[in-house]
Structure formats: C-alpha cells, structure tokens
Amino acid sequence: MKENIIIIGGGAAGMEAATQLQKLGLTPVIIEKSNALGGHIAQWDKLFPAFHNAKDVVSKMFDNVKDIKTYLNTEVTDIQRNADGFHAVLSNGEAIDGKAVVLATGFDLFKAERKQEYGYGIYNNVITSLELEKFFRTRKDERINNPKKIGFVHCVGARDVKVGNTYCSKVCCTTALKQACEMKEVFPEAEVYTFYMDLRMFGPGYEDLYLKTQKDYDVKCIRGRVCEVSEDMDGRLVIKAEDTLFGKPLRMTLDLLVLMCSMEKNKSIDKIQQQLGVENNSDGFMQNRDMYLGMNDSKQEGVFVAGTCTAPKSLPDTIGEARSVAVEVFNYVNNK
Amino acid sequence: MDFGFCLSPSSHVKMDSVDLTTFNRLKETNPDVNTCIACGSCTATCTAGNFTEMSFRRILLMLQRSKEEEAKKMIQRCMLCGKCTLVCPRGINIRKILLDITR
Amino acid sequence: MIVEGKQKIWADYQKDIPDDHYFYVRSCIRQSFWPASEVTFLDIVRNKLGKDFYENEYHTTCGGIAYHSDSIPQETAMTIIARQFALMHESGYENYVCSCITSFGLYTETLETWHEFPELEAKIRQYLWDSCKKEFAKPKYLAHASDMIYKFRFDIAKQMKFPLVNVKTGKPLKVVEHIGCHYSKMFPSKGFGGAEYPHVLVGMIEAWGGEVVDYPERRHCCGFGFRQYFVQGNRGYSESNTYKKFESMEPYEPDLIITNCPGCPYFLDRWQYVIAEQTGKTYGKNGYGIPALTYEEVAGLVMGYDPWDLGLQMHQVAIEPLLEKMGIPYDPKKKYQGVNGKDLGQPQCPSCIKSV
Amino acid sequence: MNNNIFHPFVLPFVLGMAFVLTYCVVGLIRVIWQLPKEDRKQFLISLVTPKTIWANIRDLFGDCLFHVKIWKRNPLLGYMHSSIAFGWFMIIVIGHVMLFTLKPLEGVEVEGFARSFTNFYYPIFYKHFATETPVFAFLMDFFLLMIISGILIAVVKKIYSKIVGVKRVTKFGFADNMVRFALWTIFPFRLIAEKSNIMAFWWLYSIDLMIFMCMLPFTRYMHIPTEALFILLRHAGLKAREPRKGFALAQLYSCPSCGLCIDACPMSVNDQKSGNTSAYFMKILRNGDMAEAQRIAETCLMCGKCVLVCPVSIESCDIKFSQRAAVPYEIHSDHSYLDVISTEAEHSGDPSGARAFTFGEKISTKPKTLYFAGCMTQLTPKIMRSMKQIMETAGENYDFLDKDGGVCCGRPMILSGKPAEAQAMIAKNTELIKQSGATKLVLSCPICYKVFKEEYHLEGIEILHHTQYIDELVKTGKLKVGKGEVNYVYHDPCELGRAFGVYDEPREVIENVGNLVKAKSEKVESICCGGSLGSFRLTQQERDEITQNSVDDLMFNKPDEIVTACPLCLKTFSKKSPVAVKDIAEVVVENLQANN
C-alpha cells in the first residue's frame, strides 16, 4: 500500500509526522515554504528545561526524513478535494495527489513592534527572544555589548487584549528563565531581571529550572508587566513597571531588554485553510474537532492538524501530536 | 513661599540606586532568600501577623527595594515562633533569616 | 534610537484630513490662558494659508472640565457636544476642528461611544431635541487644531522667517514636544503618529528646523488633571508630575517646550516658578527656565509675528532668551503694553526664577 | 638495690608534675574568679553544707574513680575507665602509704626541702630506690596490671570501636593522640622498668609522664583534674551564664571528649554531621573558635539527649544557650503591640485593630480548665479538635484561650538566646490566663509546656500537658475509653520526656486504648523527630535525615500507628512515616466509649 499523504509544513511537527507515517507504510510528502526543513526549532540554540542542544534533536529529525520526498521553497497555491482525496497545486508548478492532508503549518512569532511601548525597532537595545537565541548560537549581535543589567519581559503579545491575543503562549515563561540563566552564563557579572505576570512552569523539570534560576543564577523575578520603555541620554533603556508583589511602581535602567514574543497562528496558510474548510478557534489558531479525543482531526474529513497550528505548544507537545496524527492518518487511510 | 501644597515624594522604587548591602549579606549565608515565590503562606500563618502587619515575604522585598528601615521595624514584631518556617513550600529557613537580619 | 522604526510607526498612523472648510470651536482654558494663540491660529489658517475656518458665537464649553471632575453625568456632556455638532451642521459645515485637547478627547470618546452604543446616541438625539430643539448631526470629520498646523506645516515652513535654529551657533534648537494626554492616549489611531510616538508636534519641529528631544519621561502627563488642580491640597501631586518631567528632560538642555494642550503649557510654565520658589531649583540655562509654548505661538514665531502680539508676555518663564537665540527682534518696552499701547503694569519679579 | 635517693631520670617527671600542678591551681583560681559574685558565694556555701559535702564525696568517687555512669551504660567501657582511673589512684595512694611504712631511705640523712622533694617523686619510682614488702608489692603489681588491662581494652577500642558498643568516636588532633599514646605507654614502661630495672625504661617511664602532664592542659585529658572541680560547682547548683567563663569554662575542660554524645545525638545519623555534636562543640569552644561554636550552637536541636547520656553530666545545652545569647543583635524585638490586646469584649470591635480574647462565664460552680493550643498546634487542627471533643465529652468547664490564634508562649525566643525579649509574651499570656479565672491550664505543645513550667508564674493554676490531663480524666473516670486492637508505638517528645520525665502518663493512656509496643529507643533514649524549633540552622534535608532515622527507630517493632504528644513531632513524622502518625488526643478520641 503506497498512499501519498500531503504534509504542509516541514517543522518539528511535519518532520516527525512524516517519519512516523513512513514507518506505518504510507508515503508522506513534505511541502515546506522556506529553503530548509526544521522550522522555528532549527533557529533555537538550547532547549528548556535541561539545556539540551536543539541541534541534536533537529539533526536526528533530519536523518529520519532524508528519504522522504520533500519540496523546499514551495507553497501550496491551490488545493481541491476529489474522489480519491486531495489534489494540490504547488508554487513550483507541480501538482500532487494525496489521500489525506496534514496541516503542520506551525506558528508565526508575534511581531514585537506591535507592542509599541516596548520600543522594539526604535530603541537599539530592545531585542526579541528569537534574536537572543540567535546570539547564543552565533555569539554575535552588536546590540549585546557586555550588558550589566538585562531585563526579560514575559507575555509580549500574549494574554493581551490590546493586541487581540488573550491566550497564554505556554512556552515563553520557561524560555525566559532558560535564556536568563544562559545570559548569566555568558555575562556572569550581569544582573538579570524577568518581568512576569504568572510563572507557568507546567512541565516536568520546569519548576526545578525556576528554582535553579533563583538559587544558582540569582535571576530576579519581578511580578509586573513592563509598561513603558524609553531611552536615556546614554542610550540605555529606562523601564517602568509595577512590582505588584511589593505594591509599588518601580523604574530601572537596563542595558538590554529581551521581549518574550508569543506564538501566533501562521497566517500564510489562511487561503489553503479556507479552501479546505478548516475553521479558526477563538484564539485565531486552527480549530480541531475535539479537545480531547479529536485533537489531531480538523472538522473536515481527511484534513488533519498537528503541532502549533492549533495552539501554542512546547516541542515535546508538538512531537507527541505529530506521532498521534500519524496514527490518525493511518487509521483514516486504512478504514476508507 | 507657602503655596499650601508641596512636591509629593515619588512612590517609585528606584532600582538603579537601590542599596542591596543587607540583602546581599543575607544571601551569602542564606542562599534560600532568593527562592521565595511570594505565596504568602508565611504571612497568612504568622502569629504576630494576627495582631500586626508582619509579613516575611514583604520584609524580603523591602530589603531589595530600599525600604530597609521599614523591614527592620517590621521584623521587631516577630515572635520567632517558627510557624512560617513550617509552612514555607520552598523550605526557606525563615526563622534563621529573620534572626540574621537583626544581627 | 532607530529613526526608521519611528518613521514606520508614523507612516502607520496617518489620517486623511480634509483640506478646507472647518467649523472651529475654542477652548475654555486657552481663551483665558493664551488668548492670542487661538487668534493666531485663525489668522494663520485664514489669512496666511487662505483656508475657510468658520466660528460660531453660540458655541459653548464641551463640558469636559465638568465631566472629568465628575460634576455632570456623561449624558449631559454628550448633549452639550451634540449641540455643538448641531451648530456646525446648522452653519453648513461638516468638518469639526477644536482648539482644546480635552474637547478633542471627549468628542472622540463620544463619537466612539455613539458608534458602539446606538441606543445611547438615540437617547442623546432626543435630549438634544428636548433641550435645544436642535437637529442631531455628527461631523464627517473631527480634527484637533494641532492636526491642522501639522497638515500645513510645510506650507508654514515656506513662509518661515525665523526657523527653530540658534542663530549664534547655527545649530537646530533642541525642542521638547509634549502631547496632551487626551490627544491619542485613549484612541491611538485618532492622533498623528499614534499614542506611543505621536508625530503631530514632532512633524512641526522637524519641518521648522528644530531638533526633537526624546527623553525618558516624554510620555508622562504634565500633571494638570482637573481633580488634582481644583483642590489646593492636591496641587502638589500636579506639580510633582511636572517636576518629574523636568528632572528627566534637564540633562538634554532643551531650548523650548512645545505643547498642544490647554493645560500643559500653563502648568509646565507656572510650575517652574513654583518649583523654583519651593526648592530653589531652576531649569534651562542661567536660571531663566525653559519656555513652554503652544504650537500656535511657535508657528507664529517662526512666521515672524511680533512676540508681544502672540501674547508671550503671558508666560511666567522669560521668553527673551529664546527670542535672542532665534534672532527674533522684539521691543522690550512693549512687553507690558496692551493693544492700544496702554500700560498693563509690570508683574512682580519672582525671587528664584530669573526674568528679564 | 640502689640506695641512692636521686637519679636524673626523675627530673622529667618532676618538671611535668610541677607544670601541671601550677596550671591547675591557676585555672582553679581563674574559674572561681570568673564566677558572678552571687554564684561564687553560693559555691563557697555549698562546700560547707553537709548535704552537698556528701553528694560531692559520692560523685567524686563514683564519677571520677569508678565511673558508675559509664558502667551503667556499658560495663566494658566502665571497666576500661575505672580500671585506669581507680588503678592509678590506688597506685598513687599506696605509693604514698609505703613512704611512711617503709624505711627506704635508711642511712641517708635527708631533711627539709630535700626531704619534701624526695617525697614528690619517690612513690612514683620507689622500686628503683627501695625494696617493698610482699603485701605492698602484690598490691602495687595488682593495680598496675589492672591499669594495663584497661589500657588493653582502650587499644582494642581504638582499633575496633564497635567491640565496646560504640559506633562513632571523637576524632582527635596531634596533641590528643600524643597524650593518649603517652598514657598507654606509661604503665607498660613502668612494669618493664620495675621488673627489669633497665635504666632506659626508667627514663622512658619518666619522660612519658612528663609528656602526659605537660601536654595534659592542651588536650581532652584535662578533664581528669577538672572534673573534680566541676562536680563541686555542679552540686552548688550553678548554671552556665557565659559560654567561656566560670562554670562553663570548668565544664569545657571537664568534657573528656569521650564521644558518647556522638552516638546519642540525632544529628549523627549523617556521619558528616557528627561534627555538630556536643563533644565537638565543647572542643571547638574550648579552642576559642567562636564562629564555629556559634554555628554548632545554632544548629543543635536542643533535644537534651547528650546532657542525659553524658558520663560527666555536662550541661552542654545550657552552654549552647549562653553561646546563642552571646551574639550581639542590632535590632531588638518590640512586642509593645501586645499591649492593646485585652480580654474586654468591648474591644473586639475596636477600629484600632485591637484584638480581644473572650472567655466564657467567669462565675461558675465548676472549676475551670483553660486550654492553650499554642502556635504549633494551630497548624495541626486535628489535635485541637480532639482536645475539644475530649473536654466536652468529659463534661469539663473549659475555655479555649487561643481559639482564633494567640500570643506565642515565648519559648522560641528563649531558644534563640533572647530570654529577655520573651518577657512581653510571657507577661501578656500570664495576664490573659489569670483573667480567665481558670485553675488548670492544659497545653498541647511540649514546647509551651516547658516554658510555662519554667518561666511563668501562675500561682494557683495547675499546668498540665494534655497527656497528663487525659491520663487524669481517664483515671478519674471522667473519660471512658475502650481498648482497641491497634498496636501503637509512643514517641517521647524531647521537651516532655527528657525535660520533665513525663514518660508514664502517655504510656498508661495508650495502654488503655490499645496495645503499646516498644520503640528501639525509648524514654531518655528516644530520638528527636528532627523538627525541633531548637535548631535554627539545620536545612530541610538535614532535618529529613534525622526524621527518617527517628521513624525507623519507632518502626522497630512494626507498630500499626505512631503516637506522639507534640504537634511538631506529629507534623514532622507525618512526612516520613510509613504508618499513620497521630496525636495521643486523637487516638483517645478514636477510642472513646459511647456511654460517656
């Protein structure tokens, strides 16, 4: 039995789903819009909570998919349902047929400049979590110049009705603490502050990371959202926040401010999603059929969803979903 | 000239000029001062807190926010009964820290 | 500071303003604090730029002061506003421009509220009819008077005689821009440049040759706040806010503050005197203080209006050092002369802040 | 036989003896001098009081020579100590007796100073100078062999300490080891010298004695002379006031570093922590390492076991208290807010926030019992609930002093070395208790019990721990309990058991409601739960190790449930126990008869 399964998106979810589908005897085809597989996770240096190299995980995934047919720099421009399944037209002019479609389209990082008060793109020393991750990989960023005081702002673009995202982006808290520790490693003399609303340490070992952050790394966690960032004469950042646990507003000068940008639905897939009839949920992510027993089914037959296209997720969550979607697809194809 | 009003002091905590001498000294001998998660158990159970504003959680914050005098005043209310230490979910040796602050 | 970043935001927050034919309403406070500013505004748009700005003698307060100090309910304020709009409609205008930021904020708030709650709009329509027998109408376009100067800033620059440049050094003057809170903080999309980095005054400063000072407390309120000011005991709170701003801008050594709100220039000006009396602290070079002017006054200065005709003698902070920097000629003898050459009498000199 | 009365080999001994005697006299004067005036007076009076004279004689012989306490604890160790101490003592005594009965100096005229000088060393080396009678010869040889037998045990103990039932021994430095080696070799050298009369061994014997005596003041063996003074001071009823002065100093030098407290100490469960035990504390304090002494003083759980097992009866807890109190504090407590607390009902709605304690009817035909749960019991509501039920079932007329939270008893303040700052709390509680009109005060917490018993002046009010109170209720028939089938083990809380000897009442109560099984260590020997408020420095992990050890000890006979009588023990054990942990009150409530 050799059935094509169209997987849109070559990130962690897409690669892992393809790997598992191949093991189940199906023929997955990955369509990736960028010029490489790996998605966001390939841009990451270390993974929380235990500082594993992201590269190690990603390179294993690459190995797993090396025999799977993959289109890079390719988007699906049109997709139609037919009697046998789906007919997809690709941006390179080719067309493929598949029994089922797996949407593993992932997320977009929140555009930090939308939170204008943080001055991203205006003040030199305001960077995003992704840019910091790049710094960890390359150790190059002219904005990071032996900072003495570093601040992390949680929930940038999350839990914020003003930008239209009321949901929690799930992984930013842990990422912030992870990055805070890493900054302490790189700049041991620096004072590192995180401005959090709630510290959501939801996974195994995450709370230990938090404890370590406090105890071993002396990262100072201040409960309160930074509301205003300005630049002083020396180009340093002056921030205002309330220390809500102390009940007083505070201000401080920082050399670097890192914005923990939330996940948003990847909007570049909107047209295809519409053609397939997959709806969005109230958070703007794709709606799955059922929160518990149908989390990888869309409401449309033969269209499956996996990974962060349905909600913000951590890497283990995403891999778990990719594996479960493979089983769903396998059962679907076999029962048809 | 009396205008009938005057400049009100800023309520902002100026983190740039905050004096952490006491807190840092405390941290050297009691690394667990850093691990407070501000759950407030200590305050809720406090025997002295039944009669006063005593709050260990706030004392730790005061020491980090230039309110050392307030912290020292608050600490005088403590009866050292140890309930706070028993309820602390982070296992912070609160009584010891309180004693150390007063030294 | 990455200017491109700001420019991107400025480009995102632009509004299409009709070119001409406006119904102009005045500000309660400005008429008493800076009467020449509104006169200058009308003179510039009508006579220098040749636009049609109509004024109606029957317009009143917008109710903002009473509304913000909790003296009147929202419906009352809205009915007053509806009456103003009705006057505009009766006069055959559909573009409404107001001189006051409090009014601008309240008008915007009211229009948005009517939009969100049509039943409230219907109620006000009825109130307006019951109380004034006037027909309800909404403006097609609402602008603040500073939006108009912003829109015509390059036309003004063409007629400019004294740019915002220090004639002795040839360097641009360092100008602090201070935006009234109600201009765009409530509805960012209603102001040029949005709420975080408003462009309305920055655009004027840049067009007229000055250099904008962006300092940490730029966004902060001047401290006016009706409730703070009305109660004597609370005025310290108002003053403290001004103090905070001056402490923050002081290291940048600004030559001038330009504002677009009735209260801000007044408080940024007068509190400098009070702070000096209370603490001995003065800002600006040589203890003269930093002049805080309205945008009309600055527009008038660069266009060559006589400083005393612009009413600059109404400012506590001496204006003369600025005039000298800009190379604007003035007759010191005329400073305290009324329109008919009548001596208005010289005010008592304060003890701390310097005057000329 | 050599009839000379002098040989140069006696000189090392003479030197050593002179040194140690001088040192001891100076030390004695120093200790007496450092005593506070009233203590000194008390001490001098005690020396002429018949009762204390008798006790002094009894203990000087019993403790210093026969080591009765060690015998009781471990006969082999007892023999080891007493054979050396008593044997040596006898050799000295007999030697001096011989001096008078023999005529060793026949034909030699020695008078005055020279005669005294001769007396000084003569009994020690007499065999070199004279011949003894058979009876003395036998006695001297007998005691010498007795000493050597004790030394043999000591050598074996050193090599393999478990043979004498000791798990851990104190670790010593160079000086101690040197003196010990000297002590071990003195008598074998003497034996060889006496039997062979080889000059070299006489020298060795004498030099050994010199080493022993010259180094004595700088080692634990200083306890040999100091203990006598300590016994006298102890019987005078003195208490340590300053950690390194007077009475405390005498105790520091009386500590033989025998290490019996090491095995007894609950902290020794972790070998790395045995440095926290009293033996080391005394040594460190003696050496003047104040920072380390302070650390140990603040680490100690104050369970009091080391004091009770100490063969010398050193009050190490008192010394630790005095060490804690010696720390200068910059900020002192201010409990003046307690002043606004009253028993007046009209204060309860006071906007000033004043708290009011209200009591039931003051005038009652029945005598009133006042129950004070205490801070710790506030965290174990099941004890409070059980006590309420017990008092109600027994038909007692009672008030609940700290129903809505109370004022701390003051004991934790005292434990932290601030007895003066505890006074405000003691005064407030005293006032409240007196105003309640109760004649009986029942406490659930042994920590409170100790301070109420020792520091409060509540004339006319009987102070009972609830174990005693329940026992009384059961015995008087006010509370009818049934005997169940559950096997209970009882844990003696430190401040109830060791501090006040309340061992029997709880056991009798438990036997009334179920089967009492024994723990491995009971009563005096019971092991602190590890939760003690006495320690300020133990980390949670260190406490957990102690708790586990204590639980294992209690679980020795596989009981169904652990019963204790202290809220803190209850909380502490609950974390680690494999079986249910209950307060005695709870167990009683579970076994109340229906017809009460």
Sign for the CA dihedral angle at D194, D196, D199, D203 comes to: negative
DSSP state of C188: G
Q: Residue D2: its pLDDT value, please?
A: 44
Tell me how far apart the alpha carbons of residues A292 and A294 are, in angstroms, rounded to a whole number.
6
Burial A40-77 (b: 16+ CB within 10 A, else e): bbbebbbbbbeeeebbebbeebeebbeebebbeebbbe
A216, two tokens: 């071993």
SS3 per-residue string spanning A244-266: CCCCEEEEEEECEEEEEECEEEC
Q: Looking at beta carbons, which residues of chain B come within 8 Å of C237? A: 8
Nearest to C41 by CA among C225, C232, C264, C298: C298
CATH number of C17-145: 3.40.50.920, 2.10.109.10, 1.20.1050.140, 3.10.20.30?
A: 1.20.1050.140
Tell me how far apart the alpha carbons of residues A82 and D432 are, in angstroms, rounded to a whole number.
88
Tell me how far apart the alpha carbons of residues A96 and A75 are, in angstroms, rounded to a whole number.
12
Nearest to C298 by CA among C330, C254, C258, C241: C258
What are the distances in angstroms from CA A212 to CA A207, A285, C315, D418, D538?
Answer: 9, 34, 59, 35, 21
User: What mean pLDDT is reported for chain D?
Assistant: 85
Chains that touch A (3 or more CB pairs under 8 A): B, C
Spatial CB neighbours of B5, under 8 Å, sequence gap ≥ 6: C232, C233, C234, C235, C236, C239
Q: Looking at beta carbons, which residues of chain B come within 8 Å of C234? A: 5
Tell me how far apart the alpha carbons of residues C263 and C254 are, in angstroms, rounded to a whole number.
20
- In a domain, residue B92? The reply is yes
Q: Which residues of chain C carry a pLDDT beneath 70?
A: none
With left for phi above 0 and alpha for psi between -120 and 50, is residue C92 left, alpha or beta?
Answer: left
pLDDT, tens digit, 9 for 90 and up, residues A89-125: 999 999 999 999 999 999 999 999 999 999 999 999 9
Longest CA span, chain D: 103
pLDDT, tens digit, 9 for 90 and up, residues D549-575: 999 999 999 999 999 999 999 999 999
Confidence band (pLDDT; 50, 70, 90) for D116?
A: low
Nearest to D415 by CA among D493, D318, D524, D283: D318
Could you give the number of structural domains in chain A? 2
Could you give the number of structural domains in chain B? 1
Tell me how far apart the alpha carbons of residues A226 and A196 are, in angstroms, rounded to a whole number.
9
- In a domain, residue B23? The reply is yes
Quick check: C184 and C178 in contact, CB under 8 A? Answer: no
- In a domain, residue B85? The reply is yes
Residue B73 has pLDDT above 80, yes or no: yes
Q: Looking at beta carbons, which residues of chain D come within 8 Å of B80? A: 408, 412-413, 415-416, 418
Q: Residue D233: its pLDDT value, please?
A: 84
The least confident of A60-64, D294-298, D343-347, D409-413 is: D343-347
Task: Check B3 against C235: CB less than 8 A apart.
Answer: yes
Q: What is the CA radius of gyration of chain D?
A: 29
Q: Which of residues 189-248 of A touch B (CB under 8 A)?
A: 199, 211, 214-215, 218, 220, 223, 240, 243, 245-246, 248
Quick check: C22 and C96 in contact, CB under 8 A? Answer: yes
Chains that touch B (3 or more CB pairs under 8 A): A, C, D
Residue D500 has pLDDT above 70, yes or no: yes
Task: Check A246 against B57: CB less than 8 A apart.
Answer: no
pLDDT, tens digit, 9 for 90 and up, residues D506-540: 999 999 999 999 999 999 999 999 999 999 999 88
Spatial CB neighbours of C233, under 8 Å, sequence gap ≥ 6: B4, B5
Residue with tokens 């204008």: A116
Q: Where among A262, A283, A317 does a domain terminate? A: A262
Q: Looking at beta carbons, which residues of chain A come within 8 Å of B57? A: 245
Q: Taking the domains of chain C in order of start, what are their residue ranges?
A: 17-145, 152-334
Angle at C18 between CA C17 and CA C19, to 5 degrees: 110
- On whether both A118 and A241 belong to a single domain, the answer is yes
Residue with tokens 């017990």: D390
Q: Nearest-CA residue of chain B relative to D376?
A: B83
User: Residue A45 belongs to what domain range?
Assistant: 4-106+266-335
Spatial CB neighbours of D236, under 8 Å, sequence gap ≥ 6: D39, D42, D43, D45, D46, D47, D52
Helices D466-475 and D381-393 pack at an angle, to 10 degrees, of: 30
Task: Check D376 against B86: CB less than 8 A apart.
Answer: yes
Longest CA span, chain C: 63
Task: Check B80 against D412: CB less than 8 A apart.
Answer: yes
Confidence band (pLDDT; 50, 70, 90) for A213?
A: very high
Q: Residue D351: its pLDDT value, please?
A: 47
Task: Check C197 against A232: CB less than 8 A apart.
Answer: no
> What is D482-590's CATH topology?
Rossmann fold (3.40.50)
Helix (H) or strand (E) holding C284: none
Task: Check A220 against B64: CB less than 8 A apart.
Answer: yes
Q: Residue D347: its pLDDT value, please?
A: 46
pLDDT more than 70, % of chain A: 99
Cβ-in-10-Å burial (0-12, 13-18, 19+) of A275 comes to: middle
CATH 3.40.50.1860 assigned to domain D336-473? The reply is yes
Task: Check B13 against A248: CB less than 8 A apart.
Answer: yes
pLDDT, tens digit, 9 for 90 and up, residues B40-65: 999 999 999 988 899 999 999 999 99
User: Residue B66 belongs to what domain range?
Assistant: 19-101
Residues of C with CB under 8 A from a CB of B: 232-237, 239-240, 243-244, 274-275, 277-279, 351
Sign for the CA dihedral angle at B15, A198, B93, D425 comes to: positive
Amino acid in the structure at residue A276: L
Q: Where among A233, A262, A291 does a domain terminate? A: A262
Residue A281 has pLDDT above 90, yes or no: yes
Quick check: B101 and B71 in contact, CB under 8 A? Answer: yes
Residue A1 has pLDDT above 50, yes or no: no
Tell me how far apart the alpha carbons of residues D418 and D235 are, in angstroms, rounded to a whole number.
27
Task: Check C239 against B1: CB less than 8 A apart.
Answer: no
Residue D113 has pLDDT above 60, yes or no: yes
Q: How many Cα atoms sit within 13 Å of B20 on the Cβ side?
A: 14
Tell me how far apart the alpha carbons of residues D399 and D404 are, in angstroms, rounded to a whole number.
12
Q: Nearest-CA residue of chain B relative to A216?
A: B31
> What is C152-334's CATH topology?
Rossmann fold (3.40.50)
Q: How far apart are the CA of A237 and the nearest CA of chain B, in angstroms? A: 12
Cβ-in-10-Å burial (0-12, 13-18, 19+) of D453 comes to: middle
**What CATH number is associated with residue A180?**
3.50.50.60
Q: Residue C291: its pLDDT value, please?
A: 96
Q: Looking at beta carbons, which residues of chain A come within 8 Å of B15? A: 250-253
What are the distances in angstroms from CA A196 to CA A219, B18, B65, D25, D155?
Answer: 12, 21, 18, 69, 65
Spatial CB neighbours of C266, under 8 Å, sequence gap ≥ 6: C29, C33, C34, C224
SS3 content of chain C, % helix, strand, coil (to 5): 50, 10, 40
Whether residue C217 lies within 8 A of chain A, CB to CB, comes out as yes
Chains that touch D (3 or more CB pairs under 8 A): B
pLDDT more than 70, % of chain D: 90
